[in-house]
Amino acid sequence: MQVKEAIKQLQRYYHPNDEIIIDWADMEQFNGDGEMTEEIWFATIEEAERGDNIFFDTDWIQHLVCTAQNDLQSKSKEDI
């Protein structure tokens, strides 16, 4: 997704004060071996836009939510 499209999506569906979790990647993050090409990167973007990887991110966020919830519950029990 191009940055300008991400901005449009954010402006359309969220208010400026909403709290959200955002994760992104750019080509250079995955070019450690110097072999990344624009062709590979654009093919990668196409894969992501098809949703092939969406469950990984959702699972990660769900893990964060569960961890935070467990931590807060533990702290609440300590206060009793």
pLDDT tens-digit profile of 23-36?
A: 888 889 888 888 88
Residues in the chain: 80
* 42 and 64 inside one domain: no
* 13 and 44 inside one domain: yes
The range of the structural domain enclosing residue 65 comes to 54-80
Residue 36, classified by CB atoms within 10 Å of its CB into exposed (0-12), middle (13-18) or buried (19+), is: middle
Residue 54 has a pLDDT of: 60
Q: How much is the pTM? A: 0.58
Q: Number of structural domains, the chain?
A: 2
* 39 and 70 inside one domain: no
Q: Can you tell me the distance from the alpha carbon of 14 to that of 37, in angstroms, rounded to the nearest whole number? A: 34
* 36 and 6 inside one domain: yes
